[in-house]
Structure 1
Amino acid sequence: MKMKKLIILLLGLGLFSCERFLDRSPDQGVTESEVFTNYESYRAFNDQLYAYLDDYFDWRRRFDSGSFSDETENNSNWTVQNDMNAGGFYSKPGNAQQHEIGWEMSSHGIGSRSPVIANGFQAIRAANISIERIELLEDATQQQIDELLGQAYFMRAWHYFQILTRWGGMPEMSASFTPDTDFNLPRRNFVESAEDCLNDLDMAFELLPIKWELNQLGRVTKGSALGLKEMIQLYMASPLMQQHSGNSATYNHELLKAAMKTQGDLFRNAGEYGIALLNGNNYRDIFYSEFEPANSEYIFWRHTGVRSAQDVKNHFIPQSYGGANATTGPTQNTVDRYEMITGLPISDPDSGYDPSNPYENRDPRFYNNVLYDGAPWGMNGETQLYIETYTDGREDKLPINQRSLTGYFVKKYWPEGSNRWENRYGMHYMPWVFIRYAQVYLDFAEAANEVYGPTAAAPETGISAVQAINIIRNRVGMPDVNAKYTSSKEAFRDRIRNERAVELCFEGHRWFDSRRWKTADQDYKTLRKVVITKNGDDATYEYPEIPNARNFTERNYWYPIPLEEVSKNENFTQNPGW
């Protein structure tokens, strides 16, 4: 399907799914009037908004956004990975249907098999249609009408936000366009565009329920609306988005205060919404569970049911353990962010870090999230198995497209027992989570530190940035942030960002965080791996650079908009450098 104009994405891509559904002939039992007058069919139409949500665990993706950043290195040789890391992004016409960077729907359909941007445009149109047709609904209660509208407003905000974080500011998209619409619309900046999201979320908050019945698990709630609103407000206030909006590349304090107000509302009412941090003893259960499809830490997620064996095998499990590709390998940069159990970074001379035993006495989250050489993992009968990424070790000898390129594997999303010996594949719930409660504390700490400094209580919440970070650290057994790092907001800013990278690793945040902070060009300069040489019981550790890993320059802070489409709208400007 070819676009006619840039903004006609809303029409062309939207018609691909919505109008085909509506235009079925009467002999198929569906007409437009029937869809929007009957509650059950209306809800079915509205529910497709969830189908447009992304799922980075889908095995067909074979990459994660962390592999565009310094978080992970990917062993797949797919076009999307190569082009992103070379700095070209989707400058090649053949990339139009590539997952993260494309702009046209894949022939495979909606959801995780089509690009995020294309899904976003289709979802926005579907949401607009749902909102506009609500007066046609005849057999619904007021509560049902509110629920339909609340979900449509929420999803319109979410999908528009996904486009904004990649392309920057966009024209207004709050109506379902028709062929008679004037598409020669001016492009707005990021903050102006994101205001539309906030307005939608205010509507969603008023209309959505506090909770749903258990058989409706995964639908968005009032808590979801607050969680997304504060996230968008933080993005709006961030240096990259402020620069896009004509300001200096620094934080906007007024927008940060607005974010903290929303965060305060969520903190105060979290219990009522059923939102809470999990206990540190159950930390692993946040990320996958054999028995529970969701937990209290999830604010907004894609409900996928039991995760397929293919999804886990392709992303995380090497062939030596019965997997397939194990495409995602944490970098040494990521490993080095985990502090010692003393609460000090490994670069601190007082931390207790021993270069000859680099994996001892680290932050407990390291042992939950990363598999390193010598880590116990898996059982063959009564025999304990250990990861072997040292030179000529079992995992090191795998073909290049089936082993870790960094010397590490992801443990966070590799369910225990999922291997060739225990054969516990396909037995765990592992949804892709967009927002969880720990993130809100980290978002708040970032905002509060910039406005009030590390230790002053923010009036919007009653707690300080340091207290918020310590809540996240203490629950896993880490001590409070050492006082030497809380003397200034500049010093504490680095620790907040490090804490965020540790707590949210492999969850799809690092790529977007380092871009909105405008630190990506520095963060991605050097990516490192570990090379371990063993001689009997002795081991040496080297940390060479991964050659030609990233080519990130100023223009890469925003994705390019297809040139052929920009040229068709005289009021629409291309992103800088493209």
Structure 2
Amino acid sequence: MTALSLAGCTKIEDGPLERITENYVFDPTDKNGFYAEQFLNNIYSILPNGYNRVGGDLLDAATDDAMPSRNAVSIERFTTSSLSALSNPDDAWSKNYEGIRKANIFLKNIDIVPVPAKIPFWKAETRFLRAMFYFELVKRYGGVPLVGDEVLDAEKPKNFTRNSFEECINYIVAECDAIKGAVRPDPLAAGDYGRISNGVVLALKARTLLYAASPLYNGGNIGGTADQKKYQGYANFDAERWNLAAQAANDLMLTGKFKIDGVTFNNVFIVRKNDEVILGYLRNNSSDLETNNGPVGYALASAQGRTSPTQDLVEAFPGLNGRDITDPVSGFVATNPYANRDPRLASTVLYNGVNWLSRPLQTYEGGLDKPNNNSTQTKTGYYLRKHLGNFATATLYSAQPHNFPIFRYAEVLLNYAEARNEYLTAPDASVYKVLQDIRKRAGITAGTTPGYSYGLKSSGMTKDEMRIAIRNERRIEMAFEEQRFWDLRRWKTAETVLNKDLNGMIITRNATTGALTYQKAVVGKISFANPRMYFYPIPYAEITKNTNLVQNTGW
């Protein structure tokens, strides 16, 4: 598959697929299963696509990693705690139940299509997609109604009750276990890239169990009625859930089918097929990411600069030697703050002086990219770099392969390290190795200081110290991949981390000498005003349609 679309299909373009009769799509005379496969491709299109999807902004602009550069009513529902059951810009209820309904239509009808060699793969893929849609619901709402194989009638809704969080987790894991041997093996053939493979199934299982083991769900309930509590997590903490999560991640690691070694960090996001991406949302080549998020000062590029990474994120990246920039031995120099830093910084944000579109970026006050003339511009002194093509020496943006990484191997490694560390009383060698391997790939130097490797202690870290290290590594490695928004919730730290001022870098340039002065400054605020924000509210329209649905705590 080169893109998840219905391009080129003329038979079923005249209306939504679910409105076309099943006999039309699932045709016993369609010897190649062409139309049924187009229906399946349409189900794939419901998978998460994280590019500027929340009112035109990245979901990360609802965290401490970034701000919207313009007044952005949608994303600010999160940053100002003004989310409601009537107004949720990331309301995924209808979208994912639509996917579940289409999956059930497919599974009900596919056996009449005369392509026996493909049908087992297609069935397994569809079951995965259905499980994935349930995961997307559970991470937002907690336990949701499990509808089984029933094809719901949108015109005649049934009054399902919510299943418990535990029942939903068990269902997703059971589906992954049932189909992991029925999907295509890795590595996928060229024509199958983007489809569900064994590694994809194992990655969903690992992520699901990681979430289930995390503090919010693993006995960390936010309160409410007895029903609300069972929808929002397990009643009691059980350390064994961390062990199950670590084992699930290790199962994928042991396949040896994916790697980070030898994969250039930036290429993970702009090369369609590589050894690290387990599943990407495939899109046609485009330059929309660049025009939406690129710096505003390039007349020919006409970019909108929508995303402003924060100084808080920039400071999370260590020095080139891996040491925190507050450490005197890190090599950090306040008058030249972007020199000798973790190379992932330059692959994640665009900062003043970096070459872009054949000139140095000017984010100093009054510079071309921060003109202060009431137009949309960076609020923080930074623009987004991650996911954008390599345009240092170009003059215009050109179409690039931008495929949102739904699962990639570095996340699996970090999932393992987190779960393993939380399960043990102190981290073992396998946990240290994950961080060392990720930092080595990033380009951080190994160093020669006794007791340190790639900037971190090579032994003797406490469980708490390692937790801090893993969480920061996850932040900088997975920035702008829709991870931190959910991480801060599952760790149950959002009420602290997302209640604070947000910082940027104010840069002034001496008109005579050209010397630059850097000053950290507060440029905005973020609010997580109530523990109810850990879960989305069930949409008001669903609550009024189905009186059996119990609303989440506090909404």
Deviation at 1:402, TM superposition (A): 2.9
2:217 corresponds in structure 1 to 241
Q: How does 1:81-480 map to 2 (within 5 A)?
A: 81-91=75-85, 93=86, 95=87, 98=89, 100=90, 102=91, 116-137=92-113, 139-141=114-116, 143-178=117-152, 183-211=158-186, 212-242=188-218, 243-244=220-221, 252-271=238-257, 275-279=258-262, 282-289=264-271, 293-306=272-285, 308-320=286-298, 322-379=301-358, 385-397=359-371, 399-400=373-374, 402-417=376-391, 422-426=395-399, 428-457=400-429, 464-478=430-444, 479=446, 480=453
Asked if 1:522 is matched to 2:504, the reply is no
* Structure 2 residue matching 1:529: 3-state secondary structure: strand
Alpha-carbon deviation of 1:159? 1.1
Tell me: CA distance 1:316–1:196, structure 2 relative to 1, closer, same or farther (3 Å). farther
- Alignment CA distance shift 1:182-1:215 (3 Å): closer
Q: State the secondary structure of the residue aligned to 1:133.
A: helix
Q: Deviations over 1:209-240 (max 9, x none)?
A: 10443122211101110111101110111111
2:530 to 542, 547, 553: 553
Check 1:413–1:572 CA distance in 2 against 1; reply closer, same or farther (3 A cut): same
TM superposition score normalised by structure 1: 0.83
- Summarize deviations over 1:90-129 as a string: whole Å, max 9, x none: 44x4x47x4x2x3xxxxxxxxxxxxx43221111111112
Paired with 1:552 and 1:77, the residues of 2 have a C-alpha distance of 20
- 1:439-496 CA deviation, whole Å, 9 max, x = no partner? 1111111001111255325xxxxxx211111110112232334228952111111110
Q: Which runs of 4+ in 1 moved over 6 A?
A: 35-38, 247-251
Per-residue deviation, 1:323: 3.1
Distance 2:19 2:127 in 1: 22
Q: Which has the higher helix share?
A: 1
Matched position secondary structure for 1:128: helix
Unaligned runs of 5+ in 2: 1-14, 222-228, 447-452
- Cα RMSD (Å) of the superposition? 2.7
Question: Cα 1:451–1:429, aligned 2, differ >3 Å: closer, same or farther?
Answer: same
Following the alignment from structure 1 to structure 2, what is the Cα–Cα distance between the partners of residues 148 and 31? 15
Classify the secondary structure of the residue corresponding to 2:357. Answer: strand
CA 1:399–1:226: 2 relative to 1, 3 Å: farther
Deviations 1:291-310 (A, max 9, x none): xx22111111111131x123
Alignment deviations for residues 364-418 of structure 1 (CA, whole Å, 9 cap, x no partner): 1112222111223332xxxxx1111111111110655531111111222232227
Q: Aligned partners of 2:48 and 2:374: how far apart in 1?
A: 28
Paired AA for residue 250 in structure 2: G
Is 1:238–1:250's contact at 8 Å kept on the other side of the alignment? no
CA shift, 1:547, in A, is: 3.1
Give 1:472's aligned amino acid: I
Q: Deviations over 1:299-344 (max 9, x none)?
A: 11111131x1233211234242623211111101100100112221
Give the Cα–Cα distance (whole angstroms) in 2 for the partners of residues 229 and 399 of structure 1.
Answer: 49
Displacement of 1:283 after TM fit? 2.3
Amino acid at match of 1:430: H
CA contact (8 A) 1:59 1:315 kept: no
Q: Does the 8 Å contact 1:315/1:326 carry over to 2?
A: yes
Runs of 5+ in structure 1 lacking a partner?
A: 1-15, 25-29, 103-115, 380-384, 458-463
Instruction: Using the TM superposition, give the Cα deviation of residue 248 of structure 1 relative to its aligned residue in structure 2, in angstroms.
Output: 7.8
CA distance in 1, matches of 2:486, 2:422: 19
Task: Flag the 1:484–1:401 CA change in 2: closer, same or farther, 3 A.
Answer: farther
Q: In structure 1, the residue corresponding to 2:265 is in which secondary structure?
A: helix
Q: Percent same amino acid at aligned positions?
A: 27
